[in-house]
Amino acid sequence: MERQGSELALEPAGAGGVVVHVNPDDEESPVFLAWKDLTVTARRHMRPLLNGVTGKITAGFYAIMGPSGSGKSTLLNTLSCRLDRGVTVAGELKLNGQLYSNAELKLLSGYVMQDDLLNAHLTVEETLRYTAELRMPRGSTPEERMARVEEVMQQVGLTHVRSVIVGSPIKKGISGGERKRLCVAMELLTRPKLLFLDEPTSGLDSVTALSLCRLLRRLATSRTCTVVCTIHQPQAKIFNLFDQLLLLNRGNIVYQGPAQGALEFFGRSGFPCPAFENPADHFLDVITPNMNDSVESFVEKEAALKRHYTAPAVDHLLDNPRPLILPRDTTPWHKQFRVLLRRSLKETWRKRNATYVLLAQTVIMAILIGTVFLRIGTSQTSVTRRQPVLFFTVINQGMFGALIVINSFPSERMLSLRERAAGTYHVSAYFLAKITAETVSQLPAPILFSCVVYFLVGFQAVASKFFIFMAFMVLCSLSATSLALAVSAIARTTDMAVTVLPMGLEVCRLFGGFFLSPANIPVYFKWLNALSYCQYTYVGISLNELHGLKLYCTPSQLNAKTGQCPTTSGEQTIKALGLDYISIGGCAGVLIGYILFCRVVAYLGVRYIKY
């Protein structure tokens, strides 16, 4: 067998065994993992991360220990089908004696990452409730989901903080230990057969870490869930909770067996653990080179350990398949969308202070623009003032729209990757729910802006023209927002996004139809002109305002030679600037297409960029 990176999907169990989705008679039986001659190699450097290791995981509380760089996380991620791209896997790896896919493993296992990636604006109960709606079997009733949420909160000891928001470094929420327990609780909702944890005690104090490990021990003792965790250097009390120990060093398994049996193994190898010393510390001291060890002495240590270690027999596990019990199924797409939309709307509401600030800025800018160009009228002087104010309204709405969402996807990228890796939802459901919620929160700003600016400036007092102007302000804001979404999804980080986005906005402004009118655009810049959302908004509102506009002259404004008024209608300005190359409907259609195109690009970025 040879697989590459995160595509270690191994062959579906249906090809080599039987998959049973629900079988109550077998629900209590634990699953087992077995692997033989498993080798993981980083293709870029051709460096082995695991060297032909053989082992098994059956039932109980398993700890994978070893010094930094020993391959702990690589082994855990290989077993859980979560390896990064650029890695090649070879060897035998089976679940219940069958080849298994990533999709199947998601339905019967849970994975708790080292970093606590959670929605900062949701409470503990809301986080669990949304997770239950997305991940529990589709046949579960609302009452069953709420009962399971209550049960899990009591199980992990979170009932006292059920109404407290998760929080972030900026906004105070639950403690670090409570965050870790919440991450475990989210995985327990589906009653997983396997629970993988990557450094669960990282960043926790000794008391909190011990409390968490006692919880994991109780789960493993129930015989319904096998717990497998990587851990670097646990205290003695935590070490005594482990049923089984896998000790790794430089990609090789040094010891695998009962945790307490490791003391006898090291003593038999010539490295007995001194009295009153933490066994975990002693094991790592023996297998990790230090300044006092010569190369020869360390090689002798490794040889002594290797002589006394015997890899467990796994052939009987690899060659005798048992049915895979998949305790849950995939939630339908439409339900995922509804749940995620409710979650996104709630998060948006919790962040409403930013929306209030945006609306306040919108009103202030609208009043400033309206008073600077107050009542421009229909005289000849209005001819030179009308186009600048029209263009400035476009720039204003575009800038505010883009800045609102520039951090939308970068701030949630790792969270969404974690939820997707757990099989919580489809990317399309998440993406559509998120942009729908954000669009709803963004619509009031351009509408409010239009109501203030239009009448202060004194554009044509025709209802249809006002609503067309408002529609173009909304389309302009959504176009800029869509451009920012595409940039943020592809750039991956906020720092990169705020570096790239200004260039895109400046190009759109330069070719927005005001500094260079469509009639004066050089041929070789036509393509850039066509890509500017500013141009189509500016041309659209210009055509809307100038059509049917009648201008007058005072005696002093008449042409000295002809005795006529220089400009008598808006149509003259349209022809002079070359704005008649497209209709108002055409401008609106192009903007709608622009919005859809940018959002498709943003979706592809969210869907396929996973690093």
**Would residue 376 count as lying in a domain?**
yes
**Would residue 8 count as lying in a domain?**
no
Average pLDDT across the chain, whole number = 86
**Are residues 529 and 517 in contact, defined by beta-carbon separation less than 8 angstroms?**
no
pLDDT tens, residue by residue, 339-356? 999 999 999 999 888 889
**Would residue 164 count as lying in a domain?**
no
Quote the domain boundaries for residue 378: 333-608
Q: What pLDDT is attached to residue 19?
A: 42
**Are residues 126 and 146 in contact, defined by beta-carbon separation less than 8 angstroms?**
no
φ/ψ of residue 258, rounded to 5: -60, 140
φ/ψ of residue 347, rounded to 5: -60, -40
pLDDT tens, residue by residue, 8-39? 333 333 333 334 444 444 455 678 899 999 99
Residues paired with 90 in a beta bridge: 2, 39
Give one DSSP letter per residue of 264-289, joined into a string: HHHHHTT-PPPTTS-HHHHHHHHHS-
Q: How many CB atoms lie within 10 A of CB 100?
A: 25
User: Quick one: pLDDT band at residue 117, thresholds 50, 70, 90?
Assistant: confident
Which span out of 8-12, 412-416, 431-435 was modeled with the highest average pLDDT?
431-435
**Would residue 101 count as lying in a domain?**
no
DSSP 8-state code for residue 80: T
**Would residue 226 count as lying in a domain?**
no
**pLDDT over 80 (residue 300):** no
CA–CA separation, 184 vs 195, rounded Å?
9
Q: If 0-12 CB within 10 Å is exposed, 13-18 middle and 19+ buried, where does residue 563 land?
A: exposed
Q: Which residues contact 119 (CB under 8 A, 6 or more apart)?
A: 127, 166, 343, 347, 415
**Would residue 390 count as lying in a domain?**
yes
**Would residue 400 count as lying in a domain?**
yes
Share of the chain above pLDDT 70, in %: 93
**Would residue 57 count as lying in a domain?**
no
Q: Round to the nearest angstrom and report the end-to-end CA distance of the chain.
A: 26
Q: Which of 42-46, 414-418, 459-463, 536-540 has the lowest mean pLDDT?
A: 42-46
- Domains contained in the chain, number: 1
